[in-house]
């Protein structure tokens, strides 16, 4: 296959911590809600194997415990069958020449009692309910108001992430990505709109970042910092989870991460292309905030959010990004990396109705590659 002009930065190899990547195209983590019993199945194997041309696949958000579950048909990595199911996925991706990390997820309050063991209420930093719906057996339902985790329960939450990371190694993953973005449990601890604690895990920016950093350190100690990455979405308000000063908050987190030899920091910078170009005040604030947070980090930086092949290549060429994550384009283009390399046209975007669940294999594993 011939190479499109000027894609050499995106297609240069990369040592990402302990993981050697063939190129710098990263498949961003995407929930697809197609595993009814939370165990990866044959379609999951096919879906990820089709995308093995990425330098690195980051899986859909995968729960670290039954307590971490928040909606139907999302996978976990806390029991033996799940480890076995994921092993089939990682084997298939490795056979295709790719590398794969699992995104480790605890939904916190973005959950419903029906998704919790014994139908108990979900947990969060504080008993602050979100104005949020989640997908249950009955369709979209309001989330169940959470209870605050007791301080003596917090080591158990850290342990859930450690056990899940160890399970990931058993399942053959190359790395893990700790999900600290998108309004889930770790974001709920970090942001002052959801954290009203008065103990060591609330109040100051240092205290609110404590749980996330404890998890980074404990996971790094268990599986190696060179196999440990983290994702944040600092300037976005997701699932009603907001902060009064996200630039200060996440600049602190990132400067702490910068002192740790982690494999990568993955940042969802924006979720709407119009934000990057619109020039309105909020959009400019968003972009300026992302810049400041990015400048606080000198390790491997995976930039994500509305990148094209050309803008990704330019971001790497300028030294802004080490690698670039692609989300939606990977849904409809299983061979996205090969298409970017060849300068080939992309398939029509997927219908958002097929993003999650119900459709089964439709809109999941039925997008043609170039060769097809
Ligand atoms: C269907 C769908 C599911 C997603 N699920 C997750 C997820 O599980 N974890 C996560 O961190 N981000 C998730 N995201 C966000 C993507 O990783 C990515 O940040 C976002 O799509 C922006 O990248 P893009 O502009 O290349 O699509 C999801 C996005 C989509 C479209």
Condensed to tens digits (0 to 9), the pLDDT of residues 130-141 reads: 999 999 999 999
Closest CA to 232 of 204, 174, 191: 191
pLDDT for position 92: 98
Percent of the chain residues topping a pLDDT of 90: 93
pLDDT at 357 over 90: no
pLDDT band at 249 (very low <50, low <70, confident <90, very high): very high
* b/e code 138-173 from CB counts within 10 Å (16+ = b): eeebebbebebbeeeebeebbebbbebbbbbbebbb
pLDDT for position 284: 84
Look at residue 363 and tell me if it is in a domain: no
364: annotated active-site residue: no
Determine whether the shortest distance from the Cβ of 228 to ligand 1 is under 6 A: no
pLDDT band at 332 (very low <50, low <70, confident <90, very high): very high
pLDDT for position 137: 94
- Cα of 240 vs centre of ligand 1, distance in Å, is 17
Residue 220 class from Cβ within 10 Å (0-12 exposed, 13-18 middle, 19+ buried)? buried
Look at residue 359 and tell me if it is in a domain: no
The arithmetic mean of pLDDT across residues 332-351, rounded, is: 97
Look at residue 369 and tell me if it is in a domain: no
Catalytic residue among 184, 201, 307, 364: 184
Provide the residue range defining the domain that includes 134: 14-354
pLDDT at 346 over 70: yes
The arithmetic mean of pLDDT across residues 117-122, rounded, is: 98
Q: What is the 3 state secondary structure string of 303-369? A: EECCCCHHHHHHHHHCCCCCEEEECHHHHHCCCHHHHHHHCCCCCCCCCHHHCCCCCCCCCCCCCCC
pLDDT for position 359: 72
Look at residue 99 and tell me if it is in a domain: yes
Look at residue 152 and tell me if it is in a domain: yes
Candidate of 10, 26, 29 to mutate for ligand 1, largest count of ligand atoms within 8 Å of Cβ: 29
- Cα of 304 vs centre of ligand 1, distance in Å, is 9
Determine whether the shortest distance from the Cβ of 29 to ligand 1 is under 6 A: yes
Contact 67, 148 (CB under 8 A): no
pLDDT at 1 over 60: no
Task: Tell me how far apart the alpha carbons of residues 15 and 13 are, in angstroms, rounded to a whole number.
Answer: 7
Report the domain count for the chain: 1
Run of H or E including 221: helix 205-223
Look at residue 327 and tell me if it is in a domain: yes
pLDDT for position 275: 56
Query: For the segment 214-232, what is each residue's pLDDT rounded down to a tens digit?
Result: 999 999 999 999 999 999 9
Look at residue 364 and tell me if it is in a domain: no
pLDDT for position 125: 98
Closest CA to 126 of 147, 106, 107, 108: 147
Determine whether the shortest distance from the Cβ of 60 to ligand 1 is under 6 A: yes
Query: For the segment 267-284, what is each residue's pLDDT rounded down to a tens digit?
Result: 999 987 655 555 667 788
Question: Average per-residue pLDDT in the chain?
Answer: 96
Look at residue 5 and tell me if it is in a domain: no
The arithmetic mean of pLDDT across residues 199-228, rounded, is: 98
CATH number at residue 174: 3.20.20.70
Candidate of 10, 25, 30, 230 to mutate for ligand 1, largest count of ligand atoms within 8 Å of Cβ: 30
Query: For the segment 272-321, what is each residue's pLDDT rounded down to a tens digit?
Result: 765 555 566 778 889 999 999 999 999 999 999 999 999 999 999 999 99
Determine whether the shortest distance from the Cβ of 34 to ligand 1 is under 6 A: no
Determine whether the shortest distance from the Cβ of 233 to ligand 1 is under 6 A: no
Question: What angle do the packed helices 205-223 and 246-257 form, to 10 degrees?
Answer: 30
């Amino acid at each position: 296959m011939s190479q499109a002009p000027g894609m050499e930065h995106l297609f240069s190899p990369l040592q990402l911590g302990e993981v050697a990547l063939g190129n710098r195209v990263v498949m961003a983590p995407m929930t697809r809600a197609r595993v009814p019993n939370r165990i990866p199945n044959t379609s999951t194997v096919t879906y990820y194997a089709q995308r093995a041309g990425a330098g690195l696949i980051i899986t859909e958000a995968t729960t670290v415990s039954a307590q971490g579950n928040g909606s139907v048909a999302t996978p976990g990595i806390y029991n033996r069958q799940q480890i076995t199911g994921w092993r089939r996925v990682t084997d298939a991706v490795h056979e295709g020449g790719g590398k794969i990390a699992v995104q480790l997820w605890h939904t916190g309050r973005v959950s419903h009692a029906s998704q919790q063991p014994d139908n108990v209420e979900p947990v969060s930093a504080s008993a602050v309910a979100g104005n949020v719906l989640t997908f249950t057996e009955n369709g979209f339902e309001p989330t169940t108001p959470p209870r605050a985790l007791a301080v003596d329960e917090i080591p158990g939450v850290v342990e859930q992430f450690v056990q899940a990371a160890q399970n990931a190694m058993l399942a053959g993953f190359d790395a893990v990505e700790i999900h600290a973005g998108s309004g889930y449990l770790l974001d709920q601890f970090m942001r002052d709109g959801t954290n009203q604690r008065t103990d060591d895990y609330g109040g100051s920016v240092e205290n609110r970042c404590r749980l996330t950093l404890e998890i980074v350190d404990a996971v790094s100690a268990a599986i190696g910092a060179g196999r440990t990455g983290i994702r944040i979405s600092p300037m976005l308000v997701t699932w009603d989870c907001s902060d009064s000063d996200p630039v200060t908050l996440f600049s602190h987190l990132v400067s702490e991460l910068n002192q740790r030899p982690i494999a990568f920091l993955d940042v969802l910078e924006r979720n709407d292309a119009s934000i990057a170009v619109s020039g309105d005040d909020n959009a400019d604030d968003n972009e300026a905030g992302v810049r400041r947070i990015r400048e606080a980090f000198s390790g491997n930086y995976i930039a994500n959010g509305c990148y094209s092949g050309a803008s990704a290549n330019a971001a790497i060429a300028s030294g802004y990004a080490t690698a670039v994550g692609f989300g939606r384009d990977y849904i409809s283009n299983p061979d996205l990396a090969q298409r970017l390399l060849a300068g080939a046209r992309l398939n029509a975007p997927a219908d958002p109705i097929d993003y999650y669940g119900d459709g089964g294999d439709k809109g999941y594993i039925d997008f043609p590659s170039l060769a097809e």
